[in-house]
Amino acid sequence: MKQGSADDPFADEAPDEAAGDAETDADSGLTDGPATESDSTDGPATDSGLASPETSPADTLSSQSRSLPYIHSRDGVKDGRTQRPVFLRDHIEAGIDDLVTQMEAEFGEDVYKTDVTEAAMAIAEERPELVREKLDEWGYGWS
Amino acid sequence: MLAYTVYSEAGGVGKTTLATNLAKAEVRAGRRVLAIDLDTQEASMSHLLDVAEDRNNDQADSLLRHMIDRPRGEFADLIKTSEGIDVVPAHNILEYASKHLRRREEEAADFGESWNPNKQLLRVLREAGVHETYDTLIIDPPASADIKLHNAIHATRHLVIPFEPSGKGYESVQGLDQLVGGLEESLGIEVGVLAVVPNRYKGMNDQDRFLEQLTADGWETQVRFRERSSLLEGCWAEQCTAYRYIETHRDREREHELETLEKFDALADRIREETAVKA
């Protein structure tokens, strides 16, 4: 906080929905489904977006083939997930909705926005070179 | 619209009397004022302005109902008027604000909607067009830093901080700085401090030392209030502002008490100036 005047929250359309709202949950401590005797968990267990331990895609595949896939082994979309406030710009957030629509078209069934958001995060973690390209576009690396 | 939350981490520093008398000073300056009481303590602004009659009425509509999308009527019908100040009184259900807001948030999440429990007061006020109807919005939150305070700060973005010049008071301002810093980060906002207001100033050396320390930390303290226990006790007993108390309940004017009224007016002016100069 600082001495003096700050923004007017009643000014026209403060970007109020843009940041820190319910569905923009980032992955944290995800374990898939109920605890089974399966010897590994799917997905990297991260504590809130820090570097995740090495897991290979093969790991993920083998344990999924031995137990139910994640969305069928949980009771609700929020199971095992922790809500995280994430800061997003409007156009990116709108893009999540478009992505959900596209996925629903591909699968021909309802897809949760929460799953799409986390899947996007998971893909980014698996493909850091793509993240690098995007950050490059945003201006990183101009030394 | 000028909007601020009167808050101090330390209790008993005259938060409610300051908020209430600043609201009255704004009315005296010819401005349309809405005061919102979020404090469920008995000794709250609603009691001081004598508008607390529905506090326990579970049939009554309440601000919290509007915040969780369960209103029983129009926002305008929540408002009571006292001494020219429009007030949204506190209702006892505010005790459970956190529970109800979290529950509503969970429900929203089950339906894949986003719903931030800290931003509901701002939503309700905006939807009611408060910024078009009023010139000044003053919120009096409870002394505990909970979801009601988050909502108040998010809706106003500005603070007026009463402070008792003492070690405890000084620490409370520093603690508040940390608390608000965390809040700014989690809500993605900047919070401006319009005034730090020393109260119960007696001109003692060690009090001056704490005021100097505050100034060194970058906080300005333009208007200081001295101990006025007789006046303020009178206000609580008669349930009115200091202005009305002196006008109606004092048989003779006391010079130093008139000075206190002038200070409320001067502080209200200063706060308005502070926002007129856009940072």
Q: How confident is the model at residue A117 (pLDDT cuts 50, 70, 90)?
A: very high
Closest CA to B158 of B32, B13, B38, B271: B271
Q: What is the pLDDT of residues B188-240, one digit of tens each?
A: 899 999 999 999 898 888 899 999 998 898 888 889 999 888 899 999 999 99
Chain B residues in contact with A1 (beta carbon < 8 A): 159, 176-177, 180-181, 184, 190-193
Q: Does residue A136 have a pLDDT over 60?
A: yes
Q: Which two tokens stand for residue B209?
A: 């030392």
3-class secondary structure, B172: helix
Question: Looking at the predicted structure, is the pLDDT value of residue A64 above 80?
Answer: no
DSSP B65-133: HHHTT--SS-GGGG-EEETTEEEE---GGGGGHHHHHHHHHHHHHHTT----GGGHHHHHHHHTTHHHH
* CA–CA min distance A10, chain B (Å): 6
CA of A114: which chain B residue's CA is closest?
B112
Q: Tell me whether B216 touches chain A (CB under 8 Å).
A: no
> Is A20 in Cβ contact with B187 (below 8 Å)?
yes
Residue-level pLDDT at A23: 40
Of A3, A19, A77, the CB nearest to B220: A3
Regarding predicted confidence, which is higher, A78 or A93?
A93
Q: In B167-198, which positions are buried (b, 16+ CB within 10 angstroms) versus exposed (e)?
A: eebbebbeebbebbeebbeebebebbbbbbbb
Residue range B45-64: mean pLDDT, rounded: 95
What per-residue confidence (pLDDT) applies to A40? 41
Rounded to whole angstroms, what are the CA distances from A64 to A55, A68, B193? Answer: 14, 6, 54
At A85, the pLDDT band (50, 70, 90 cuts) reads confident
Residue A55 has pLDDT above 70, yes or no: no
**pLDDT at site A42:** 44
Q: Which pLDDT score, from 0 to 100, does residue B4 have?
A: 97
A34 close contact with B: CB closer than 8 A: no
User: Of A4, A9, A19, which has the smallest distance from its Cβ to B156's Cβ?
Assistant: A9
A87/B contact by beta carbon, under 8 A:
yes
Which of the four pLDDT bands, split at 50, 70 and 90, describes residue A13? low
The whole-number pLDDT of residue B32 equals: 97
Selected residues 67-126 of chain B with any CB under 8 Å from a CB in chain A: 105, 108-110, 112-116, 119, 122-123, 125-126
Residues of chain A with pLDDT > 90, as a percent, come to: 25
d(CA B269, CA B9): 25
Chain A residues in contact with B158 by the CB 8 A cut-off are 5-6
- Cβ of A78 under 8 Å from any chain B Cβ? yes
CA distance B137 to chain A (A): 11
pLDDT per residue over A67-83, tens digit each?
Answer: 678 887 777 787 788 88
- On chain A, the residues whose CB falls within 8 A of the CB of B156 are 9
State the DSSP string of A60-95: HHHHHHHS--GGGS-SSTTTT------B--HHHHHH
Whether chain B has a CB inside 8 Å of the CB on A12: the answer is: no
Residues 219-258 of B with CB under 8 A from A: 219-220
Vertex A41: Cα angle to A36 and A45 (nearest 5): 135
Please give the pLDDT value at position B53: 95
Please compute the mean of the pLDDT values over residues B163-177 and round it to a whole number.
88
Among the partner-chain residues A1, A17, A76, the one whose CB lies closest to the CB of B114 is A17
Q: Which one, of B122, B149, B139, B126, lies nearest residue B87 by Cα?
A: B139
Interchain CB distance below 8 Å, A5 and B274: yes
Mean pLDDT of A109-126: 91
Contact check, Cβ <8 Å, B157/A6: yes
pLDDT (tens digit per residue) in B67-101 = 999 999 999 999 999 999 999 999 999 999 999 99
